[in-house]
Amino acid sequence: MGQRDKYRVAYAPTAYTDLDELFAYIAHELHEPDTAFNLIERIEAFILKLQDFPYKAPIARDALLANKGYRMLTVENFAVFYLVDDEKQAISIRRIVYGKRNFQWLL
């Protein structure tokens, strides 16, 4: 049995901005830099698991997002929205947002 190639994970600029803003808020506004660092590490670790299991997360529950192919990975209180491109064996991380936020208009 042959080994499957890993999918390549790429972050959209908006996803990088989301991570930067999340870190800044927790580290500077809440004065919890260690918590911020640990949270970002956990989010990135979950995202890296997608390389081997790109369909690990379900299709987004919102019909509009589901029709566009978005999947939603939940990491603690945060939602990671991503798209899978089987042809290119690539995963595009689009947004990382607080899970209770109204995110439909963000994507």
Model confidence pLDDT, tens digit, residues 44-60: 999 999 999 999 999 99
Q: Please tell me which residue, 3 or 11, carries the higher pLDDT value.
A: 11
pLDDT band at 99 (very low <50, low <70, confident <90, very high): confident
Convert 20-79 into a string of H (helix), E (strand) and C (coil): HHHHHHHHHHCCCHHHHHHHHHHHHHHHHHCCCCCCCCCECCCHHHHHCCCEEEEECCEE
* Domains of the chain, first to last: 8-98 (3.30.2310.20)
Q: Kindly report the CA angle at 30 between 11 and 102, in degrees rounded to 5?
A: 50
| Model-wide pTM > 0.85 | yes
Cα–Cα dist 64/99, whole Å: 17
